Amino acid sequence: MKSTRIGILGGMSYESTIKYYEKILESYYRQIHNYSYPEIVIFSLDFQKVIDLEHRDNKEEYVEYLMEGIKSLENAGATFIIMAANSPHAVYVDLIKLTQVPILSIVKATAEKANKENLKKLLLLGIKFTMQSSFYQDHFENLGMQIIIPKEREQDDINSIIFNELVIGNFKQESKKRLIEIISSYKIDGVILGCTELPLILHQKDFPIKILDTVEIHVEAALKYYFLHN
Same domain, 134 and 221: no
Domain that holds residue 69: 5-105+217-229
Q: What is the mean pLDDT of the chain?
A: 96
Q: Residues 99, 113: one domain?
A: no
Per-residue pLDDT of 168-209, as tens digits, reads: 999 999 999 999 999 999 999 999 999 999 999 999 999 999
202 and 111 co-located in one domain: yes
Mean pLDDT to the nearest integer, 18-38: 97
pLDDT, position 1: 57
Tally of structural domains, the chain: 2
Examine the domain organization and report whether 224 and 201 are in the same domain: no
pTM over 0.75: yes
Q: Which long-range contacts (CB under 8 A, 24 or more apart) does 98-106 make?
A: 98/63, 98/67, 98/70, 99/67, 99/70, 99/74, 100/74, 101/7, 101/74, 102/225, 103/70, 104/80, 104/218, 104/221, 104/222, 104/225, 106/82, 106/214, 106/217, 106/218
